[in-house]
Amino acid sequence: MTEIRRVGVVGLGAMGAGIAQLCVEAGVETVGREVTAELGEAARGRIGHFLTRKVEKGTLQQEARDAAVGRLTTTTELADLAGCDLVIEAIVEELEPKRVLFAELERLCRPDTVLATNTSALSVTEIAAATSSPERVVGMHFFNPAPLMPLVEIVRAQLTADEPFEAAFAFGTRLGKTAVRCHDTPGFVVNRVLIPLLNDCLRVLDEARVSAEDLDTAMRAGAGWPMGPCELVDLVGIDVHVHAAEALYEKLREPRMAPPPRLVAMRNAGLLGRKSGRGFYPYPR
Ligand code: CAA
């Protein structure tokens, strides 16, 4: 099985930076690729900040923090990922850019490099089909925020071979995650359930004329959720949720999958949640 010594992460947004943080904390040399040096530096700053908070809270030694940060290099050149044993893609949730990237990664990386996508609602099989070696393409779907959420779904696409699939599973476990194996179906396991569930919650806002605050309180206090649905879509990103819901609706044609119009309107108005400073709530709260 491919031994994972060096990992590449493409895209250092909320998910990619979280995944890179997990890798360096697990002792793995990590190369993060962003489109500009400034974005790479900003991601390094966020990772450094979260690791410093762990030191302040006594869950990480200062030396371990510094060593972890030292394992991260950032680059704007995809070619710098050539020596990686595993590359995890976490770029924009659109099929075409992902397919272009995977074709490029296939050209740049060794034939035994495992190529993983963190897509949450697109087809891993369709991404893999952009390469001539789809057997080494696998889904590694982390949850937001990646450093805190225990799960990673290891997704077997139509042509994924056993060895890269198991290498990805073993690596997820090495990152300290609870890994589950599943097949490449729309939404995999969690999003297949969570997206229509969140859509239902948000429809209740209008149906029951309940406020966002009270809906969140109700789901925390009545269903034991750690966060209310409005807080959660603000965290995930309203654009990300709408996009994932549209992708599931397109594939499954179930009305509950379609994003509620209220959410689409918020996305169109630029109310994207935490990252834009305003969603259901203003941020910082
Ligand atoms: N990266 C790294 N560290 C982070 C972080 C991040 N993105 N965000 C927060 N932290 C750290 C911070 O240092 C924070 O401590 P400080 O505020 O003191 O600095 C620390 O984590 C812990 O924060 P909290 O004490 O607030 O943690 P909590 O106990 O309240 O739990 C939570 C937070 C884990 C997010 C919890 O509220 C929870 O489980 N929420 C549900 C999240 C969820 O369902 N996510 C799935 C979304 S769906 C998805 O991701 C699928 C998809 O494909 C779209």
The per-residue pLDDT for range 83-119, each reduced to its tens digit, is 999 999 999 999 999 999 999 999 999 999 999 999 9
Instruction: Tell me, using a 6 A CB cutoff, whether residue 55 lines ligand 1.
Output: no
Whether residue 68 contacts residue 48, with contact meaning beta carbons closer than 8 Å, is answered with no
Please state the atom number of ligand 1 nearest to the C-alpha of residue 15: 7
CB atoms closer than 10 angstroms to residue 208: 10
Nearest-CA residue for atom 16 of ligand 1: 53
Average pLDDT over residues 40-46: 97
Average pLDDT over residues 144-153: 98
Instruction: Tell me, using a 6 A CB cutoff, whether residue 193 lines ligand 1.
Output: no
Instruction: Tell me, using a 6 A CB cutoff, whether residue 124 lines ligand 1.
Output: no
Instruction: Tell me, using a 6 A CB cutoff, whether residue 18 lines ligand 1.
Output: yes
Which own/partner pairs from 273-279 qualify as long-range (CB within 8 Å, at least 24 positions apart)?
A: 273/233, 273/234, 273/235, 273/236, 273/237, 273/238, 274/234, 274/235, 274/237, 275/14, 275/237, 279/230, 279/233, 279/234, 279/238
C-alpha of residue 30 to centroid of ligand 1, in Å:
22
Please state the atom number of ligand 1 nearest to the C-alpha of residue 142: 50
The per-residue pLDDT for 12 is 98
- Known catalytic residues are 120, 141, 153, 191
The per-residue pLDDT for 3 is 86
Angstrom distance (rounded) from CA 279 to CA 212: 11
Whether residue 12 contacts residue 86, with contact meaning beta carbons closer than 8 Å, is answered with no
Please state the atom number of ligand 1 nearest to the C-alpha of residue 149: 34
Nearest-CA residue for atom 5 of ligand 1: 145
Mean residue pLDDT of the chain comes to 97
Contacts of 138 (CB under 8 A, 6+ apart): 114, 115, 116, 117, 124, 154, 155, 156, 157, 160, 164, 165, 168
Q: pLDDT digits over 184-196, tens only?
A: 999 999 999 999 9
Please state the atom number of ligand 1 nearest to the C-alpha of residue 57: 18
Closest CA to 32 of 54, 50, 53, 6: 6
The per-residue pLDDT for 243 is 95
Closest CA to 178 of 169, 189, 165: 169
| CB-count exposure of residue 256 (10 Å: 0-12, 13-18, 19+) | middle
Closest CA to 184 of 158, 147, 212: 158
Distances (CA, A) of 207 to 200, 204, 227, 280: 10, 5, 21, 17
Q: What is the DSSP string of 161-172?
A: -HHHHHHHHHHH
Average pLDDT over residues 210-227: 98
Instruction: Tell me, using a 6 A CB cutoff, whether residue 113 lines ligand 1.
Output: no
Amino acid, res. 246: E
The per-residue pLDDT for 165 is 98
On the question of pLDDT at 2 being above 80, the answer is no
The DSSP H or E segment spanning 55 is: helix 37-56
Percent of the chain with pLDDT over 70: 100
On the question of pLDDT at 1 being above 80, the answer is no
The DSSP H or E segment spanning 117 is: strand 114-117
